[in-house]
Amino acid sequence: MEQLIYEGKAKDVYQTSDNEVLRIVYKNQATALNGKRMEEISGKGSLNCQISNIIFAYLAENGIKTHFIKNVSKDEQLVKKTNIIPIEFVLRNVISGSFARKFNQIEGTKLLSPVLEYYYKSDALDDPVINESQIFALKFATELEIIEIKKQVLLINQLLVQLFKKINIDLIDFKLEFGRYHGAIILADEFSPDNARLWDTTTHDSLDKDIFRKEQGSIIPAYEEVLNRLKTEKGLT
Ligand code: C5P
């Protein structure tokens, strides 16, 4: 019997019979305001899982090491078990969301260079901002690990900007997580419209969770649109 080892807002994680392999189940639950608003959205889990699979496969093809092993159903995947670094790495190409509010800046303005921010993963503390010296002093990650992760995040950003450009989507910002695996740092967690801002290049419409955050209707058509464009680009049916 598989043991539930982590119950998240958007995913549950089970230990499989192989000690080094986890099974992730993507859930239909959507949350905003750090879990204070919660809704069940039929189909979301499967869409996010399929989108994340395509993105992780594309990154792996381009030399990025990830935890992804294979998908076992539309909303479940097998991944390598990592020791997760408790930091959320947020990369911004264009001003939006909390960055626009914090600095009173106009949403949609392209940043001169990509901005990388760190947040400490803690639901109880609402994921507070953390800086590098705090990360090192609190032993959340070493200097060498952060150097490696920064390199990877910037490379992933370049690869994803290129991919999304091909499907007429601007990659505004996104959040990634990394884990330790046999002495290496590998990409973990997911990449989906739940943790990225994806704007249609022509219309500037959001194709991401901002639709839910701003209560602008169902996210499903937008998530389906992202998945369909990715599938077409990758020649998947
Ligand atoms: O809200 P904010 O502008 O800081 O979000 C920046 C990016 O990080 C967005 O793409 C958002 O979806 C993602 N994010 C996330 N999980 C969080 C906070 C932000 O995926 N806890």
CATH number for the domain harbouring residue 177: 3.30.470.20
Going by C-alpha positions, the residue among 23, 1, 27, 28 that lies closest to residue 13 is 23
For the cut 80, the answer to whether the pLDDT of residue 10 exceeds it is yes
pLDDT score for 1: 75
Domain containing residue 43: CATH number: 3.30.200.20
Output the pLDDT for position 56: 98
Instruction: Give one DSSP letter per residue of 8-64, joined into a string.
Output: -SSEEEEE-SSTTEEEEEE-SEEEETTTTEEEE-TTHHHHHHHHHHHHHHHHHHTT-
Distance (Å, whole) CA 85 – CA 134: 14
The Cα 115–Cα 95 span in angstroms is 10
* Tens digit of each residue's pLDDT (9 = 90 or more) over 40-84: 999 999 999 999 999 999 999 999 999 999 999 999 999 999 999
Taking only the tens place, the pLDDT of each residue in 187-200 is 999 999 999 999 99
Q: Tokens representing 164?
A: 């999304």
CA-nearest residue for atom 21, ligand 1, is 127
Q: What is the pLDDT of residues 112-165, one digit of tens each?
A: 999 999 999 999 999 999 999 999 999 999 999 999 999 999 999 999 999 999
What does the pLDDT read at residue 28?
98
**Residue type for position 225:** E
Complex ipTM tops 0.95: yes
Find, among 64, 69, 59, the residue nearest to 22 by Cα.
69
Domain end (from 25, 54, 80)? 80
Using pLDDT thresholds of 50, 70 and 90, give the confidence band for residue 175. very high
Is residue 227, in this structure, part of any structural domain at all?
A: no
- 80, 110, 141 — which closes off a domain? 80
- Asked, for residue 231, whether it belongs to a domain, the answer is no
Same domain, 11 and 115: no
User: pLDDT at residue 237 above 90?
Assistant: no
Mean pLDDT over all residues of the chain? 97
Kindly give the number of the ligand 1 atom that is closest to the alpha carbon of 174.
10
Q: With contact defined as beta carbons under 8 Å apart, do 209 and 186 qualify? A: no
State how far the alpha carbon of 31 is from the alpha carbons of 9, 44, 86, in Å.
Answer: 7, 12, 20
What pTM was estimated for this model as a whole? 0.98
Q: From ligand 1's centre to the CA of 90, what distance in Å?
A: 7
pLDDT score recorded for residue 162: 98
Ligand 1: residue of 190, 195, 208 to mutate (most ligand atoms within 8 A of CB) is: 195
